[in-house]
Amino acid sequence: MNAFSIGDIRAEPGSKVKGFLPSEGLSMPDGTVNYWHIPVIIVNGAESGPVFEVDGCMHGDEQEGAYTVLELAKRLDPKKLKGTFVGVPVLNVPGFLTHGGVRGSTTDLMYVDMNRQFPGDPDSMSHTRRAIHTFWNEIILKCDYTVNLHGCVNGQIPRVVCNEEMPGSLEMAEAIACTPEWIMASRSEHTRLIEDTINRACTEKGIPNVFIESGSADRSHSAIMADVEVVVEGIMNCMRRYGMLDGEVRVPKIRRSTPYYTHVRGKGAGIIYPESCLRINNMVEEGELLCRIVDFLGNEIDQVKAPHDGIVIMEANQVSVGPESSICIIGYPPEIKGTG
């Protein structure tokens, strides 16, 4: 087993090391340089094995992944690990600090979605694209498997999204979806578009990748940590699958999957009145009323109906909806299969 390094952060075999990786900076007209430090935790096993990366908070307001990565790093014992774990608790640092949603940062001149900028560009006017270039070259290209953690705030079925055409990606998803809470999905409306996501960039490089969407509508700390626990166990099961951790690989008796999923949007902005069917894990029929949207005087603007027979994957946990904003997510067609 060899030492493993990312930038100046070097972990000898059988050790756990933490540090910050400076991203490539963008020179500003006031003479300063705009960049951020990517937090990195390396758990380098005593014995050889794959390099497994998990990153959280690529989208700044999707923050539960920070807990997940920190929890994984805490639980992994370098003396027992075979291979190397690389954890990035918060990738989009400025976005996280400002609850900045998909934006790379409030100061990003290009106002971009970080997960549409891969593999980055060291000469870009967007410092998010520069940071992505650092992340991609210094971290992702050194890894055999990568997992990106998304989602928050809205109640969601923990969902692992894979590229079914890549055997390694499907294999990872099956290992992660190891308890009954999970649903596996493969094609979202946006992953079918040609966009510069990390998922697409990893596929082109032949690096198996999945992303996980999860979130607790109940914002109490205990509920959030229960949600985090499901994801931590799923990722550790995937590491067992690749021989990095001892123990039996868990296989759920029943596996839920949905080949497609789509965001459901209303015609106008307003106040939402959800129907009782609009709760995660519920099945809905095409054309079934999901919610009504009213204006500030209570006048009905729209009736939002299910676009497909499907399963509610993410529910509306907000009072209002913006124009063209997502109200909920429907997976279709839902498939439930025994694995025995």
**Binding of residue 133 to Zn ion (CB under 5 A):** no
Interface with Zn ion: number of residues (CB under 5 A): 3
Q: Among residue numbers 61 through 80, which ones bind Zn ion (CB under 5 A)?
A: 62
* Nearest approach, Cβ of residue 59 and Zn ion (Å): 4
309 within 8 A of 285, measured Cβ to Cβ: yes
Please check whether residue 172 is in contact with residue 249, taking contact to mean a CB–CB distance below 8 angstroms. no
Binding range to Zn ion, per CB under 5 A, among 149-157, 251-259, 308-316, 329-337: 149-157
CA distance 216 to 221: 10
H helices of 13-110, in order, are 64-75, 93-97
Would you state the structure tokens that stand for residue 267, as one six-digit string?
């015609």
User: How far apart are CB 148 and Zn ion at their closest, in Å?
Assistant: 8
Indicate the residue among 63 and 258 with the shorter CB distance to Zn ion: 63
Cβ distance to Zn ion smaller for residue 58 or 139: 58
Tell me the backbone φ, ψ of residue 316, rounded to 5 degrees: -85, 110
**Least distance to Zn ion from the beta carbon of 159, Å?**
12
Q: Got the DSSP string for 211-252?
A: EEEEE-SS-SHHHHHHHHHHHHHHHHHHHHHTTSS-SPPP--
Least Å from the CB of residue 62 to Zn ion: 5
Q: Which of 116, 133, 150, 200 binds Zn ion (CB under 5 A)?
A: 150
Binding mask 42-61 for Zn ion (x = CB under 5 A): -----------------x--
- In angstroms, the CA 23 to CA 226 distance is 33
Give the SS3 label for residue 332.
strand
- DSSP-assigned letter for residue 280: T
Q: Which is nearer to Zn ion, 134 or 154 (CB)?
A: 154
Examine residue 227 and tell whether it contacts Zn ion (CB under 5 A).
Answer: no
Footprint of Zn ion on this chain (CB under 5 A)? Answer: 59, 62, 150
